[in-house]
Amino acid sequence: MWIYEKKLQYPVRVSKCDPRMAKLLIEQYGGSDGELAAALRYLNQRYSIPDKVIGLLTDIGTEEFAHLEMIATMVYKLTKDATPEQLEEAGLGPHYVNHNRALFYENAAGVPWTAAYIAAKGDPIADLYEDIAAEEKARATYQWLIDLTDDVDLIDSLKFLREREIVHAQRFKEAVEMLKDERDRQKIF
């Protein structure tokens, strides 16, 4: 079970009301390679992965929920002072007529999140490569988002998140090598 602590993993600041950037950021909230996909993917694999990797999946999965909360906070801050007209101007008209200023688990084009984005194979090597790929894809998405803003405060938060994905990818690569070594040792003896 989880206990909620009322703070963000890393401070989130935005320089200005910017619904245009909010629309794009939603990709990391409810998009194919966003934080929801990451958190749910790792926590789900815990039951069939070898014991020694469970802790890693729990830690990273739980951290991804903290990232999801950071993204939500960014989107909220970027839109809370926008008028309906400004939201529509930024391409959020379709979002507004359904959700007003509420968030939703959708990608930047407005497509709802689906579990079809993630995999769980019950094969530890395959699952860890799935996880490495997930982190590499999330890293790329953060880069494409940074490309489209010059808000230094926002960039600071996005760079923190991108860096965390790189660290996670490294941890998963170490885990897969460990499991492969073990598998090879078992074949020998």
Catalytic residues, which ones? 35, 64, 67, 135, 165, 168
Residue 48 or 81: the one with the smaller Cβ distance to a second copy is 48
The least CB distance from residue 60 to a second copy, in Å, is 11
Residue from 38, 139, 164, 175 touching a second copy (CB under 8 A): that is 139
Residue from 82, 132, 154, 161 touching a second copy (CB under 8 A): that is 132
The least CB distance from residue 38 to a second copy, in Å, is 13
184 binding a second copy? (CB under 8 A)? no
| Site for a second copy, residues 158 to 177, rule: CB under 8 A | none
In the stretch 66-105, what mask flags binding to a second copy with x, by CB under 8 A?
Answer: x--x--xx-xx-------xx--x--x-xxxxxxxxxxxxx
The continuous run of DSSP H or E covering 144 comes out as: helix 124-147
CA 178 centroid distance within chain: 25
User: Buried b / exposed e across 150-182, counting CB within 10 Å, b at 16+?
Assistant: ebebbeebbebbbebbeebbebbeebbeebeee
Cα atoms in the 13 Å half-sphere on the side-chain side of 59: 10
The pair of structure tokens assigned to 22 is 């909010």
The least CB distance from residue 153 to a second copy, in Å, is 19
The least CB distance from residue 151 to a second copy, in Å, is 15
Determine the Cα–Cα distance for residues 123 and 143; give it in Å rounded to an integer. 30
